[in-house]
Structure 1
Amino acid sequence: MIYKLIMLFQADVTWLNVFRYITFRTILATLTALCISFLFGPWVISRLRALQIGQYIREEGPASHKPKAGTPTMGGCLIIPAILASSLAWSDPANLLVWVVVFVLVSFGAIGFADDYLKTVRKNNRGLSPSGKFSLQVCAALITAIVLYVYPGLDTRLSIPFLKNITPDLGLFYIPFAVFVIVGASNAVNLTDGLDGLAIGPTAIAFTAYVVFAYLAGHFKIAAYLQIPYVGAAGEISVICGAAVGAGLGFLWFNAYPAEIFMGDVGSLSLGAGLGAAALVTKQEIVLVLVGGLFVFEALSVIFQVGYFKLTGGHRIFRMAPIHHHFELKGWPEPKVIVRFWIISIILALMSISTLKLR
């Protein structure tokens, strides 16, 4: 909104032309969200502590996590408003794709809020039922998928890294595919949120990669040169991704080991879904598997663990799933697990960006 207000005076004040550049507004969005998180972080932590909204630690979890019980959670109530305020301030409100991503962040944040509320305030340690939570996620993702399907600036073909001449057209099957991307990304980030700063660090790294993808997809000449799908309106999504990076870094200040606050489902579900939505609107859906490779690995570790446990009648592949708990139980200190996983995320993000030239 600030961007539109400034543009009213652009004709009379020539230096205001700088606000027309997406790169400049992305930087502003990142810094704005970062400042909001910094400024309001202590207040949010104190309010959550006063309301006794503390983290519940499962009995079957690692014994080293017991002291974390009662640490303020629902930190997504800081992250999501910071992203929304910054995004709406510096992006173009006339861009439909901006509102699509905003809808995803808000709807999945609301689902996570309801789950966290039941766990912490209502003292129902199970929260929403798994089927109820999944159904709500599918409904929100389905609305998003239908909007993207009918949006004239997007087609239903997939861009596959390394194979520039192979672009399969999903047609109507694009809708269930988009639902899978959003819901899958949401739950993968949620599963990764098990150690101090473990989820928010890789999430900020992944959104940084999509700042690049969104900008390039929205630039006709660069998209043509790189032979990636051109989506004219996708450039504005880099502003939202930048805001997510800033809000994530600001939150990490308080979430770093030892954490003063956890993001809760309100944060992890919405950020994961927002990442999936960014992948869809930039037509870089397949690359998300590489950008968010750490999240994929965490989710697969749970799937394999549960499947193997049922098939073998009680045997396990890992000492505990998700995989980060396995390394904890092997004796790795928590900060070592976190930093090493961050390093992996940075490597994967760089590899994903390199695919732009390997088509």
Structure 2
Amino acid sequence: MAESLHFQDIIGQKEAIAHLQNALRTGEISHAYIISGEKGSGRRELAAAFAATLQCTDRQEADGLLEPCGHCRSCLQSQTLNQPDIITVLPQKENKSGALQVDDARRLRDDVQIKPYSSEWKVYIVPNADRMNVQAQNALLKTLEEPPAYAVILLLAEGTEGFLPTVLSRCITLRLHPVEESLITIELEQSGISHESAILAARLSHGNPGRAKRMAEDEEFLAFREQAVNLLKKVPVTDTYTFLQAAGTFTGEKFDAFIDLGESWLRDLLMVKSTGRVDNLIFQDESVYIKNAADILSFAQLQASADAFDLAHRRRNANGNDTQILEMLLLSLRSSWRTLRKVISSES
């Protein structure tokens, strides 16, 4: 998602926002925070909103939140990424991890000693901080132990496992959590995404707003979705060789995406079977097929399908082969859905 400078634009993350809001209101600002969450979870947006609000000289109250005013000198500079006292620290030399190396950490350590240019605070935002090696973390440690009064260091991370215990003990850790599907759906719809695409992307994002946004706007994903739905619809009449071919293309991230799509498809079948309603389907454009299929399939057949997905998850967790797992899943679904052949023949 696009970077925001306002807390109110961050989806979910009430606990982390509440902590930073309390710090802003009381003036009890820690000198080091770890903001931990998946890529796309909002960690960068949270850091940007906190930094902008901290530096703002005319903070405003909006919907119960302290926000940057948007018109003071600091805010205008923040909006164009030119605030001299909000510094994103990137490695000088490219590396696979994208993390600071020991020379970069020393550079940050030296820069911290220089007083702010025009603000009360000097804020450092460090992406991929959990990927710093031991040498880089040790070089940063002295700054974390004895920071100048004006320094605030925001370490952005996917998790905390990569940090040295000595680094963790000197930081306040804010953990970002998966966001409710409904909140992500609303946000996507407000950005112009169709209702059906928003629901599906929110479902497949596993609570990650950034991932949902990328999927909803990705033409390749939309093409993949169409391919996967066509395969699911034709499972009862598809031969084993075609299953093997399809399974060979759905590996890695596509394996996970296909499983998510398949379970969402099954969820729609179960919902219609249980309620008879089609107004809250994820696959709304396939409502006619899903209604006809749900009328034919028994609860026992649908339970067998759910069991097949559960088995696929267990095999994947046991480091099974993606292609073999998916082929076995499709064969199991074909056995469970064999009575749907009449639905497919009527559509042809």
The verdict on a shared fold, with TM-score over 0.5 as the criterion, is: no
Q: Which has the higher helix share?
A: 1
Q: Structure 1-normalised TM-score?
A: 0.26
- Which structure would you say has the larger Rg? 2
Q: Structure 2-normalised TM-score?
A: 0.27
Q: Which has the higher strand share?
A: 2
